[in-house]
């Protein structure tokens, strides 16, 4: 046997060409003779030759292996091992030693030696199978772990590595030591990777599973609850539904002491413990339920959920086993298969995950997870493309020394390490060296300045930018950086001059600022040219994206203006045509809301921002500036001019918001024209145009006429705009909860159950106007989903009456009111608030939860007198519109 095994490592026949030329001629002669004698079955004589070779050249490893071979062939395995151990870092020697130890049945030493082979031959995952084979004799769980590691490798060769027999022996060892679940998990894992072994290992798996089931059934004893105990369980469930988890837990903890054999009680306790964040307690309770009632699939399924949800991936492998167990009882449940697939993927068992995904598709090809499952299955066949050939970087500038270049690249690398607190200091230290070696090399100066600015040292950074600017006056980068620094320092005029200079020099960011200012000043054609220049020069994707967005907005506005200009040029003959063009050149926001209801949320946000940030914060100054001008005080006018027309001022902000609204509309296929077609924005934008024309006068702060003009603008820029925009936000967001709104939602849901009589709903709305800030169609959809859920949960012969009750609550801190809408039903079942927070909701209920959350509201399950439960939605109330 030993000879047969060792022969695997020996050459088939002495090959003179294999004689290493580094050996002395005499050693070469011994080596050739040794091989020949070994081949002739004369190991004793061969050993003499190989010893001579080793003496002549101790570094010639092949002689050691050969000597060990022939010693083992003579039965001197101990001596052979001693020879092999003289070369502890030689993987061939280690492997030969491990094999010898196995033959000597020294399993523990063999396993240790195989670990050395694993370390020395990382490219050969099969060494782990060999180690597992040895470990299986002394430590089967460790062997299973080693095999799991092996199965995690990609590109393994289970047949070539002899996996199946090793798995059989390890599984059997686990089984015999009462570790049947681990044995089953191991076999399942192997079958997932290598389904070809299903014949042999599948039988083993079935036997282990039957053993397990029998054991569990022998231990099981789910006992029914006594009437008083059931009342306690129901009381606990009601307490949990009310959200009083502490009370529910107290009742259940006592119940499981009184009725420790009730799986139902343990499972209820598990839910309450989880609701309180006690994941370990929940998991223990579910395992108790599983032991008491091993045939129910919901317990292992929930165990899997708990392990996945709470234990940070520590026990994903066990979660897979739990789902597998649930699936044995419930093999046609696609949802369970999907959860198993997800756990397998997280556990690194991607092949198994793909097979589970295939089951999902087979069972429910149009289901919730079908799209993801299809992607997983398709992805399993994907092969990665090789990296395309890329141009190499230009590298070191010829004028820079190699040391300076390396210091510069080290500085770049340090700068990227934002996680290291001292990285900037290191980078600056490297750059100090570069500056000493190449003081005129501007990239290093710019990098140093940028790092100094990041560190908040604008003064020193500015010095570096000044130096860079002096070295290369044509480079716009240092000018733009200086401009930004001056802006941060509050030196607005200097900053503005530098920005202009940077724009003239072609800096994309500075040009973009110039384009935005031109757009804000309604110089659209000039802005368009500048934007084109930005696009040509843009160095960063962000600048490019911003420039393109501005260009789209400008194009839309220019088209509108062109239509207007045409109407002026052809005042008589083409008046009807021009008027038609003009009508078609844009629409009001009403058209956007009508055609794209889903845009309401973004639109409301933008209109609200204009109302708050532009009108409220900035245009309240119009009156006081006029008053100051009357008093011949130009200061407030100059202050206001900066607040209105400066880079962050009201007018550029308004232009940006208008562009965002136009872009939002364009994405919905609507071309809005806020200036000419929208009754809320039109007067504001017209007033801004007039205000813009006053900018030079404001900056100089001259003239009583200016004061009068400003007073004429106070209303359209101020309270009139504020009111109009506020009304627009309300119109977009506010829904009044009238009985007919509730009744309509109920009717829509009831219509989905055509063959079933659904009684009229019980609707209660308090007197007065109860309104919420939520788009009507979304509120309707929330209610429809809740009513549908109630009807679905009610048995065909149950009472399908649903109540929709509205009330108002008050926040104790903000005194804001909340509208409470309760959808109460008589449906049995155990929907809880925790379920609503969980991930496994029906699609409709999930959407309802999302919509309510986005409206700033909450949703919970609560008890309701006269009903089984109520799903209660709370949304901020709007008092007056």
Partner 1 sequence: MKRILVIEDGSEYTDTFGRFLGDRFVFTRAGSGGAALAALRVAPFDAVFLDLRFDRTPEAELVGDLAALAEERFGGDRFAARRHLVEEQGLYVLALLRREGIGVPVLIGHDFGREPRRLERLRAAMGPLDAISGVLEPRDVAARLAALTAAAG
Answer for which of 389, 813, 839, 843 binds partner 1 (CB under 8 A) is: 813
CA distance 701 to 638: 6
756, two tokens: 């079933």
The binding track of 760-799 with respect to partner 1, each residue x by CB under 8 A or -, is: ----------------------------------------
CB of 715 to partner 1, least distance (A): 10
Among 621, 658, 821, 823, binds partner 1 (CB under 8 A): 621
859 binds partner 1 (CB under 8 A): yes
Q: Which is nearer to partner 1, 139 or 642 (CB)?
A: 642
Binds partner 1 by CB under 8 A, chosen from 482, 860, 870, 875: 860
Q: Does 485 bind partner 1 (CB under 8 A)?
A: no
Our finding on whether 817 is near partner 1 (CB under 8 A) is yes
Q: Is 418 exposed, middle or buried (0-12, 13-18, 19+ CB in 10 A)?
A: exposed
Does residue 723 bind partner 1 (CB under 8 A)? yes
Residue from 141, 261, 297, 856 binding partner 1 (CB under 8 A) = 856
Q: Tell whether residue 166 is a contact of partner 1 (CB under 8 A).
A: no
> Does 582 help bind partner 1 (rule: CB under 8 A)?
no
Residue with Cβ nearer partner 1 (363 or 860): 860
- C-alpha torsion sign, points 329, 334, 337, 342: negative
823 is a contact residue toward partner 1 (CB under 8 A): no
Q: 820: which residues sit within 8 A by CB, 6+ positions away?
A: 806, 807, 808, 809, 872, 873, 874
719 binds partner 1 (CB under 8 A): yes
Does 858 engage in binding with partner 1 (CB under 8 A)? Answer: yes
Nearer to partner 1, 234 or 727 (CB): 727
Residue with tokens 């379920």: 835
Residues shown for the chain: 881
Phi/psi at 873 (5° precision):
-105, 135
Q: What share of the chain is helix, strand, coil (3-state, %, to 5)?
A: 70, 5, 25
CA–CA dist 818, 809 (Å, integer):
5
Long-range CB contacts (within 8 A, 24+) of 20-27: 20/60, 20/62, 22/57, 22/60, 23/53, 23/56, 23/57, 23/60, 24/56, 24/57, 26/56, 27/52, 27/53, 27/56, 27/57, 27/60
Residue 248 contacts partner 1 per CB under 8 A: no
* 706 contributes a contact to partner 1 by CB under 8 A: no
- Residues 828 to 847 in contact with partner 1, rule: CB under 8 A: 833, 836-837
Q: Which stretch binds partner 1 (CB under 8 A): 118-126, 555-563, 619-627, 799-807?
A: 619-627
Buried b or exposed e, range 241-250, using 16+ CB within 10 angstroms = bbbebebbbe
Looking at residue 225, the DSSP 8-state letter turns out to be P
Alpha carbon distances (Å) from 489 to 452, 482, 484, 517, 646: 15, 10, 9, 21, 15
CB closer to partner 1 out of 634 and 636: 636
CB 721 to partner 1: min, Å: 8
Interface with partner 1 by CB under 8 A: which range of 207-215, 255-263, 693-701, 857-865? 857-865
**How far apart, in whole angstroms, are the C-alpha atoms of residue 92 and residue 9?**
9
Query: Which listed range, 281-289, 595-603, 636-644, 779-787, lies at the site for partner 1 (CB under 8 A)?
Result: 636-644
Report the residue from 816, 828, 840, 842 that binds partner 1 according to the rule CB under 8 A. 816
Shortest CB 786 distance to partner 1, Å: 14
DSSP state string for 862-878: E--TTSSEEEEEEEEEE
| Beta-strand pair 858-862/817-825 | unpaired
Q: Which is nearer to partner 1, 394 or 813 (CB)?
A: 813
Does residue 881 touch partner 1 according to CB under 8 A? yes
Taking CB under 8 A as the rule, does residue 636 contact partner 1? yes
Among 21, 815, 839, 866, binds partner 1 (CB under 8 A): 815
* Residue 571 exposed, middle or buried by CB count within 10 Å (0-12, 13-18, 19+): exposed
853 binds partner 1 (CB under 8 A): yes
Q: Which span sits near partner 1 by CB under 8 A: 194-202, 316-324, 516-524, 849-857?
A: 849-857
Three-class SS state of 431:
helix
351 binds partner 1 (CB under 8 A): no
Residues 640 to 659 in contact with partner 1, rule: CB under 8 A = 643
Min dist. Cβ of residue 857 to partner 1 (A): 8
Give the residues lining the site for partner 1 (CB under 8 A): 615-617, 619-621, 623-624, 627, 636, 639, 643, 718-719, 722-723, 726, 730, 810, 813-817, 833, 836-837, 849, 853, 856, 858-860, 878-881
């Amino acid at each position: 046997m030993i000879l047969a095994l060792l022969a695997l490592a020996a050459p088939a026949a002495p090959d003179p060409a294999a004689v290493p030329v580094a050996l002395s001629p005499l050693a070469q002669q011994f080596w050739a003779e040794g091989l020949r004698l070994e081949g002739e079955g004369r190991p004793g004589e061969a050993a003499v030759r190989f010893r001579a070779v080793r003496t002549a050249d101790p570094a010639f490893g092949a002689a050691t292996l050969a000597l060990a071979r022939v010693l083992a062939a003579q039965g001197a395995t101990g001596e052979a091992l001693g020879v092999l151990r003289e070369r502890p870092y030689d993987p061939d020697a280690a492997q030969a030693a491990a094999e010898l130890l196995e033959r000597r049945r020294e399993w523990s030493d063999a396993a240790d030696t195989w670990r050395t082979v694993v370390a020395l031959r990382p490219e050969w995952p099969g060494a782990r199978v060999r180690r597992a084979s040895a470990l299986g004799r002394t430590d089967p769980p460790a062997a299973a772990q080693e095999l799991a590691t092996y199965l995690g490798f990609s590109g393994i060769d289970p047949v070539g590595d002899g996996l199946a027999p090793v798995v059989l022996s390890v599984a059997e060892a686990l089984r015999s030591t009462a570790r049947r679940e681990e044995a089953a998990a191991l076999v399942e894992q192997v079958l997932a990777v290598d389904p070809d072994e299903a014949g042999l290992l599948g039988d083993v798996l079935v036997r282990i599973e039957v053993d397990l089931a029998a054991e569990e059934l022998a231990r099981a004893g789910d006992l029914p609850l006594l009437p008083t105990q059931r009342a306690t369980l129901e009381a606990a469930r009601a307490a949990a539904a009310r959200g009083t988890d502490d009370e529910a837990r107290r009742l259940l903890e006592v119940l499981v002491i009184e009725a420790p054999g009730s799986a139902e009680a343990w499972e209820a306790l598990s839910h309450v413990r989880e609701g309180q964040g006690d994941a370990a307690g929940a998991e223990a309770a579910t395992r108790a339920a599983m032991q008491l009632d091993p045939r129910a699939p919901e317990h292992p399924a929930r165990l899997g959920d708990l392990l996945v949800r709470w234990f940070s991936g520590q026990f994903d492998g066990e979660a897979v086993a739990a789902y597998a167990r649930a699936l044995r009882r419930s093999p046609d449940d696609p949802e369970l298969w999907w959860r198993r697939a997800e756990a397998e993927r997280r556990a690194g068992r991607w092949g198994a995950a793909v097979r589970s995904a295939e089951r999902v598709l087979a069972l429910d090809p149009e289901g919730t997870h079908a799209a993801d499952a299809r992607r997983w299955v398709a992805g399993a066949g994907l092969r990665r493309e090789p990296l395309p050939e890329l141009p190499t970087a230009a590298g070191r500038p010829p004028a820079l020394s190699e040391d300076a270049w390396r210091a510069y690249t080290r500085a770049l690398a340090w700068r990227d390490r934002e996680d290291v607190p001292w990285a900037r200091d290191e980078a600056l230290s490297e750059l100090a060296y570069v500056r000493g070696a190449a003081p005129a090399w501007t990239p290093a100066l710019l990098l140093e300045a940028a790092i100094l600015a990041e560190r908040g040292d604008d003064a020193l950074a500015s010095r570096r930018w000044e130096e860079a600017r002096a070295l290369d006056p044509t480079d716009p980068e240092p000018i733009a950086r200086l401009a930004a620094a001056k802006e941060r320092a509050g030196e607005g005029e200097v900053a503005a001059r530098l920005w202009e200079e940077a724009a003239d020099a072609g800096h994309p960011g500075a040009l973009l600022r110039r384009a935005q200012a031109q757009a804000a000043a309604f110089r659209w054609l000039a802005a368009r040219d500048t934007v084109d220049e930005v696009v040509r020069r843009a160095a960063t994707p962000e600048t490019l994206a911003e420039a393109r967005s501005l260009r789209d907005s400008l194009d839309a506005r220019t088209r509108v203006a062109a239509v207007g200009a045409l109407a002026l040029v052809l005042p008589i003959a083409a008046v009807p045509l021009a008027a038609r063009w003009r009508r078609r050149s844009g629409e009001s926001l009403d058209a956007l809301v009508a055609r794209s209801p889903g845009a309401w949320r973004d639109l409301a946000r933008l209109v609200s921002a204009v109302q708050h940030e532009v009108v409220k914060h900035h245009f309240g100054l119009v009156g006081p500036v006029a008053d100051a001008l009357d008093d011949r005080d130009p200061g407030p006018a100059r202050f206001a001019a900066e607040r209105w027309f400066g880079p962050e001022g009201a007018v550029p902000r308004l232009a940006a918001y208008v562009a965002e609204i136009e872009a939002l509309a364009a994405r919905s296929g609507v071309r809005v024209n806020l200036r000419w077609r929208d009754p809320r924005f039109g007067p504001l934008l017209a007033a801004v145009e007039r205000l813009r024309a006053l900018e030079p006068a404001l900056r100089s702060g001259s003239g009583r006429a200016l004061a009068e003009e400003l007073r004429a603008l106070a209303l359209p820029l101020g309270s009139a705009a504020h009111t109009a925009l506020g009304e627009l936000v309300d119109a977009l967001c506010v829904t009044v909860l009238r009985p007919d709104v509730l009744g309509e939602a109920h009717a829509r849901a009831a219509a989905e159950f055509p063959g079933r009589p659904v009684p009229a709903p019980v609707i209660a709305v308090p007197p007065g106007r109860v309104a919420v800030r939520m788009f009507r169609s979304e509120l309707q959809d929330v209610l429809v989903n809740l009513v549908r859920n109630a009807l679905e949960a009610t048995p065909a012969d149950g009472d399908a009456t649903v109540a929709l009750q509205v009330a108002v609550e008050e926040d104790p801190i903000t005194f804001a009111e909340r509208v409470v809408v309760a959808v109460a039903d008589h449906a049995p079942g155990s929907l809880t608030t925790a379920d609503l927070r969980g991930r496994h909701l029906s699609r409709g209920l999930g959407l309802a939860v999302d919509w309510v959350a986005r409206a700033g509201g909450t949703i919970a399950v609560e008890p309701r007198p006269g009903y089984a439960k109520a799903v209660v939605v709370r949304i901020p109330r709007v008092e007056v519109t």
